[in-house]
A and B are shown apart, each in its own frame.
Chain A
Amino acid sequence: MLGYTVKRLLTLIPTLLIASILIFLFIHLIPGDPAAILLGDSATPEDIAALSAQMGFDKPLWQQYLLWIKNVLHGDFGNSVFFKTPVLDVIADGAETSIFLALMTMFWIVLFGIPIGILSASFHGGWIDQITSGGAMLFASIPTFWLGLYLILIFSVGLGWFPSSGFPSISDDGGLTNLRYLILPSLTLAAPNAALIVRLVRASMLDVSREDHVRTARSKGLHPARVSIKHVFRNALIAVAAAFGFTFAALVSEAVVTETVFSLPGIGRLVVQSILRRDYPVIQGVILFIVLLYLVINLLVDLAYARLDPRVSLQ
């Protein structure tokens, strides 16, 4: 398994290179000039051209790319045009928020999604199933901005239990108590995702429960709950594992709406704002980070498959 992992990690390099070229090309397709945006409406064309040249945006695209990739290979992603700080620091700040947010969201998804899914499948057709399936449908279709705002209204404004916005960095002033800032946003994000996991766990378990080996398990005289968990759910987990991986990656990179509602400095918002600011170095860096994240998650999902299903062998 170690050899396989190393091999897979090495294949990440060409993938990332190709991704970097595509990112670079697509970003420069966006109309607009970072110098013009920085200097504002009152700037003269001469000022803009001078700043553009100073930042190296006047060179041919291929030269810009080579220069950038050379620096990237040396660990230097350049400085943010907007923040004037190193791109890696900007990404690290965003990633801290996003990864904590995603982890906490995953915690809720596992805590609610899996048991409710199992319950729903075990009593399928009965009233428990109707309630949980209906609830899942409801939560899957509630827009996150609406749910987020209502959670703020009830738990921050009304009851005052949790802060309504922001996330003071844990790495800066320490203290895991800062995680309380993420409770409402993570619940907001968890609602639709947990609902999908409920549906997925239910569907996969119903599929598995029709398999012959489940009948064998029942013929052993096992308690139905044991058959459900040890035999049905354990097999259904193989399908659910992949969904977990990609949900996590999506939570880190695509939580723009929730991050906006709760004013969180996360990756999703960083991407959108950097695009609006034409902050090329940050866009390039952060999208490369997201690509890397998906590739690593993909690898982890494959490794998880091999752990969960003995029929899968890693070659």
Chain B
Amino acid sequence: MQCGTALILGLKTILQVCSVALLELDNLNIAVASKDKLLPVVHDCSLSLAEHETLGIVGESGCGKSLTALAIMGLLEGSQVKITSGSIVFDGQNLLEMKPSRRRLIMGDRMAMIFQEPMTSLNPVYRIGDQIIEVIRQHRRISNQGAKQRALELLELVKIPQPEDRINSFPHQLSGGQRQRVMIAIAMACDPALLIADEPTTALDVTVQKEVLDLMLDLQQRTGTSIILISHDLGVIAETCNEVAVMYRGRIIEKARTRQLFSHMAHPYTRGLLASIPSVVTDTDWLEAIPGRVPTIDEQLSGCAFHPRCAHTKTSCSQTEPPLIEVQEHHAVRCHFAGEI
């Protein structure tokens, strides 16, 4: 009898492990240390990402999306920004309970990141080849020659022309788009299970943006890596992501499968974001905008974070903060009147 229970328990655990997502954020809270107090900047952020999936995080500047990404990557250490509670589980391990030395084994290997500023994200004094080789040799037992061979393959993979010449270039000899490709090569060097891309195309020309995004998706097809794509551009998100989380003032205010989100937007802020994209089909003189401005982080606000700017505000909105409620399967909204408006 006991044996049977143990077996069932064991099976349950195995099943649980199998269904566990690659990355699971549970009630993550982040705060900035300012003088003597902590100003919360990310509130109860819960997200999950399955293998081979792409999760988009959208929001205005300062909504906490980059901080969330840096927290996942482990790059907040040593800064004024602290994780105050919650957990980040990656591959079944809670990253926040890990020793820094163990965590560094994951960084750059199982998990990699590309940043918004390709112009300044590469070290100006080293050749790009050496910067790629550095991350390979950090995580793999491989000769310098072997790592160089791998670096050449990577440069080819990210479609840098004449990799044999370019491997010896310094960053300042490359264009912004090429530098971002090199960053992608560095990120993909160890075949990471998770790639975090923080506004990877924002600083690039529109024509180059498309190429870089296509490259990332192409690499995802080949390697099966999961991607977190952070952007303020709903168009980019719609094209690339399976799942979207919309953030406002440090909170996830809507979360859904991409298709679901774009067909049934429930939160007034998400609708506002979409409405503010000018149409190319109709001739518009007037740009839609969400009225008001994003409150600064030290402004105290009761109730719903969006109520001062919301067109549908009712009295209860300024009194209690709405929880994130599932309005449908895989579709959660943080609004008191999610079903009604």
Contact = CB atoms under 8 A, between A and B. Distances in A.
Contacts of A217: 123
Interface in B99-127: 104-109, 112-113, 115, 117, 120-125
A310 B170 contact: yes
A310 B124 contact: yes
Given A216-B115, A220-B138, A221-B107, A311 B172 contact: yes
A310 B120 contact: no
B73 interface: yes
A41 B228 CA distance: 91
Nearest to A211: B120
Contact of A231 (B117, B120, B123, B170): B123
Interface string A210-231: 0111011111111100000001
A212 B106 contact: no
Interface in A259-275: none
B105 A212 contact: no
A311 B124 CA distance: 8
B121 A216 contact: yes
B133 to A, nearest CB: 11
A58 interface: no
Contacts of A219: 73, 75, 107-108, 112-113
Contact of A216 (B104, B106, B123, B125): B123
Nearest to B132: A220
A309 interface: yes
Interface string B204-222: 0000000000000000000
Given A220-B186, A234-B125, A235-B125, A215 B138 contact: no
Interface residues of A, number: 20
A223 B101 CA distance: 8
A234 B107 CA distance: 22
A308 interface: yes
Contacts of B138: 220-222
B183 interface: yes
Contacts of A310: 124-125, 170, 172
Q: Among A216, A231, A238, find the residue whose CB has the most chain B CB atoms closer than 10 A.
A: A216
Contacts of B109: 221
Contacts of B120: 211-213
A221 B108 CA distance: 5
Contacts of A311: 124, 170, 172
B233 interface: no
Contacts of B106: 221
A233 to B, nearest CB: 11
A220 B108 contact: yes
A219 B113 CA distance: 7
Given A219-B113, A221-B105, A213 B123 contact: yes
B121 A309 contact: no
Interface of B: 73, 75, 104-109, 112-113, 115, 117, 120-125, 134-135, 138-139, 170, 172, 183, 186
7 contacts: A212-B121, A213-B121, A213-B122, A219-B108, A238-B125, A308-B125, A310-B170
